[in-house]
Structure 1
Amino acid sequence: MSPDTTQAEPYLVGEAMTGGYGAADILKTCTITAAKGEIAVIVGPNGAGKSTAMKALFGMLPLRSGSVRLGGEDITALQPQQRVAKGMGFVPQTHNVFTSMTVEENLEMGAFLRRDDIRKTIEQVYDLFPILREKRRQPAGELSGGQRQQVAVGRALMTEPQVLMLDEPTAGVSPIVMDELFDRIIDVARIGITILMVEQNARQALEIADRGYVLVQGGNRFTGSGRELLDNPEVRRTFLGG
């Protein structure tokens, strides 16, 4: 997947982001970018600011300095719901499905901003995640962890996002389910959607990443293609277990 070279800069840019909760800055001039149709992955130790960087990009964390741009437009001052309207989708790590609602009702909830016919998008989600078509009448709370994650990603896709942000999408699932979720994430990127994800399974995530970021103490420690980071001896030794 080659980035879209017609743009002067990557589609999503969080530049020199500094901010946190209360007086403490968790992010310190952190820069994250992702091009159109690219899979960008943020990895690093616990407490490095990975999820905080995602929240800053999505407008859930006010920045003290720095900026966020989407398709060349400065969106730093926009609220999360305004960013959704601009084409950003966000899947949090937990509490990301309506457990008492059916799979299909969850997908319909994802289209709350839309006023057009959503059936085509629902069918696209079912094509991407065939198990959801099979279980569309079942309450989401009865599904396995991996299937719930598919519902959560599917619901975010119902907004027809240009950028899909995933916070630890494979947390708590088996290696087989993780591989399947990563395959589906690759499929989503292939249709031109930019993927940005925080992932604890760093090695596996970098294997599918076009671009990778290793954060340490709220700042950029290493940046490169997924392959460059996997091949970097210091990254391997310090962050990937050798």
Structure 2
Amino acid sequence: MPFLIGENMTGGYGGADILHGCTISVDKGEIAVIVGPNGAGKSTAMKAVFGMLPLREGRVTLDGQDITGLSPQARVAAGMGFVPQTSNVFTSMTVRENLEMGAYLRQDDFTDTMEQVFDLFPILREKAAQPAGELSGGQRQQVAVGRALMTKPSVLMLDEPTAGVSPIVMDELFDRILEVARTGIAILMVEQNAKQALNIADKGFVLVQGANRFTDTGAALLADPEVRRSFLGG
């Protein structure tokens, strides 16, 4: 069984279902990417895995334990880190304070973890005393990812991490995400830049209208003529 799996997930926000038997999974040290057209239910699937959406059917398991009934806060305590697409930093707080907020559940000394975050994102060390609201979009994303890493998660979930950043910043963020995966953390990511994301993905899930349309390795999806034609612009 995969380390994290949202299995046969069906549900919505109170009205009609958005997800229809959707299954998403990722193993430790893997990067799994969810792609698909606008309105396909990509972010909804991510939120369902994180417990932000009640499931009518299906279940979520983490390291063999059924966590379907856990709140998002309890899932963080169980080892899940989640970075939302927007409003993901405390703009009036400094970079260092943002990172410290990520360690709010920890009882131990988190100095080493903060040093690891600064090593991963050197610009954050430079700007540690600067309010996060003064940073560029790409730097804010680094703060948001760094704050999630402060919890020492076993799974890192990223919702559109490269939204609104330049191609150069996107490539840099993807390089850092690869580095995080190499430490053994499972990474589940929703991404609008499908080609680039599948290029670094161990596995990919193409969703259409809340259901799995294609599931394969990133390389296989990139090479699939139908996937390329329908979802990757040819």
TM bucket (normalised to shorter chain) is over 0.9
In structure 1, what is the equivalent of residue 47 of structure 2?
55
Q: CA deviation at 1:239?
A: 0.2
Distance in 1 between the 2:41 and 2:3 partners? 22
In structure 2, what is the equivalent of residue 108 of structure 1?
100
Distance in 1 between the 2:123 and 2:51 partners? 32
Q: How many residues align?
A: 234
Same amino acid, percent of matched pairs? 79
Gaps of 5+ in 1: 1-8
- After TM superposition, list the pairs within 5 Å mapping 1:24-43 onto structure 2: 24-43=16-35
In structure 2, what is the equivalent of residue 92 of structure 1?
84
1:14-38 Cα deviation digits (max 9, x unpaired): 0000000122000000000101110
Report SS of the residue matched to 2:17. strand
Q: CA deviation at 1:208?
A: 0.1
In structure 1, what is the equivalent of residue 136 of structure 2?
144
2:115 is aligned with 1:123? yes
2:193 is aligned with 1:201? yes
Distance in 2 between the 1:147 and 1:22 partners? 36
* TM-score, L = length of structure 2: 1.00
Equivalent position amino acid for 1:209 in 2: A
In structure 1, what is the equivalent of residue 74 of structure 2?
82
Distance in 2 between the 1:211 and 1:69 partners? 18
Report SS of the residue matched to 1:21. coil
Distance in 1 between the 2:15 and 2:117 partners? 42
**Superposed structure 1 runs of 4+ greater than 2 Å apart:** none
2:146 is aligned with 1:154? yes
2:63 is aligned with 1:71? yes
Report SS of the residue matched to 1:62. coil
In structure 2, what is the equivalent of residue 3 of structure 1?
none
Report SS of the residue matched to 1:82. helix
2:2 is aligned with 1:10? yes
Equivalent position amino acid for 1:66 in 2: G
Distance in 1 between the 2:46 and 2:148 partners? 15
Report SS of the residue matched to 1:197. strand
Distance in 2 between the 1:35 and 1:118 partners? 25
* TM-score, L = length of structure 1: 0.96
Equivalent position amino acid for 1:15 in 2: E
Distance in 1 between the 2:121 and 2:132 partners? 14
Equivalent position amino acid for 2:152 in 1: E
Distance in 1 between the 2:167 and 2:173 partners? 10
In structure 2, what is the equivalent of residue 5 of structure 1?
none
1:65-106 Cα deviation digits (max 9, x unpaired): 000000000000000000000000000000000000000000
Report SS of the residue matched to 2:2. coil
- After TM superposition, list the pairs within 5 Å mapping 1:211-230 onto structure 2: 211-230=203-222
Distance in 1 between the 2:200 and 2:121 partners? 19
Distance in 2 between the 1:58 and 1:23 partners? 20
Gaps of 5+ in 2: none
Distance in 2 between the 1:102 and 1:22 partners? 37
